[in-house]
Amino acid sequence: MKYFYHLIICLLPAVSFGQLILGGNNPQDIVTQVLSGSGVNISNITYTGSSEAISYFSANTQNMSFHSGLLITTGYRNLAMGPNNDSKSRIDNGYPGSILVDGLASSQSHNAAILAFDLIPSGDTLKIRYIFGSEEYPEYVGNSYTDVFAIFMEGPGIPGSQNIAKLPNGDPITVNKVNNGNPGGTGSGIPACAATNPQYFVDNGNGNQAPYNSSNTYLQFDGLTVPLTAKRAVIPGQTYHIIIVIAEGGDGIFDSGAFIEEGGITASTGENNLNNFVNVIYNPMDQQATVKITEYQGSLTYSVIDLSGKTMTQSKITETTTIDLSNYTSGMYLIRITGSNGQIIKKVIR
């Protein structure tokens, strides 16, 4: 099916300026024939936004590892093409924002592109792979408003509508939550600030730096995230509604975009066991147990239990949680991790 869509792309008008090639912009075709991977049945596809803000892409670029898929932007799709030789690449396409992301953007949003569809999974774990990029880096990091990307999900087992596009620590995908800081003195009027979650950020120049501004193997966006995965436990055979939104916060000036990988919407079985994304590592030298989460899951808690069954302590888990056992008496303890999809127990000797 992928080869069939590549043939369609060849027949459609395509614009190429080097290593990022943009083709058809029919959302129905792109979602069903390109994004849909194993274990999902997608239907009822709708798109709201500028027709110039969405596109099929194929790529062989630096700093953006996806080779093909869907590009969805807050402005004009062609502005994503490199080289990165403009520090203020932008277009206000005049479309309204979305109330879905106003809170995440910390202001009224603008230029929203919204892709929605129904999905029936055959597995118990839904995944959507994406990369977010923006021209707001680094000048507008720390601004009172911020561009945002979100994937909302509704359906059985999900209270209300939940955003599943998050970092492992639960932070949403915005310019202010994934960055390498702001050096200040850029002319934006935004003061210098420290980096936030820099381990998920990829620098792509500022529009004036070599080699980014001289090679079309680089995108125009000044910064990107590493490949990220939105993940949620689902009930096989049930219908879920997915809403993918990208929007600008506060104004409609500097463009942002999201790349969703070809075949990157999948549903598989057997991945919801906590053992697949939660690790408990105990260091007997300092009596510290570290709980590490490889993929974000909401409502995880830990408990430390002695051999009599008494709960010594209990708390919520963050991205990396440290449990101090140094004040406990010698003996064996159980560290129990509990979530909506089960629990795991680690034995430690104090």
Any idea which residue has 């995230």 for tokens? 225
Within 10 angstroms of residue 56's Cβ, the number of other Cβ atoms is 28
**Residues 43-60 pLDDT 10s:** 999 999 999 999 999 988
Mean pLDDT: which of 144-148, 278-282, 287-291, 320-324 is highest? 144-148
Bridge-based pairing of strands 158-163 and 148-155 is antiparallel
Q: Report the distance separating Cα 30 and Cα 71, nearest Å.
A: 10
Q: Which residues pair with 303 in a beta bridge?
A: 314, 336
The per-residue pLDDT of the chain, averaged, comes to 87
User: Could you tell me the maximum CA-CA distance found in the chain, to the nearest angstrom?
Assistant: 73
**Residues 64-82 pLDDT 10s:** 989 899 999 999 999 999 8
Cβ 138 vs Cβ 182: under 8 Å: yes
Note the pTM of the prediction, 2 decimals.
0.77
Cβ 237 vs Cβ 120: under 8 Å: yes
Residue 276 pLDDT: 64
- Which residue from 178, 267, 203, 260 is spatially nearest to 227, judged by alpha carbons? 260
Collapsing DSSP states into helix, strand and coil, what is residue 282? strand
State yes or no: pLDDT of 161 exceeds 50: yes
Residue 280 pLDDT: 81
Residue 15 pLDDT: 46
Cβ 344 vs Cβ 338: under 8 Å: no
- CB contact set of 221 (below 8 Å; sequence gap of 6+): 80, 84, 133, 134, 135, 137, 204, 255, 256, 257
Residue 297 pLDDT: 61
State yes or no: pLDDT of 135 exceeds 80: yes
- CB contact set of 213 (below 8 Å; sequence gap of 6+): 83, 84, 85, 205, 207
- Residue 198 per-residue DSSP state: G
**Full set of structural domains in the chain with CATH:** 2-268 (no CATH), 274-349 (2.60.40.3080)
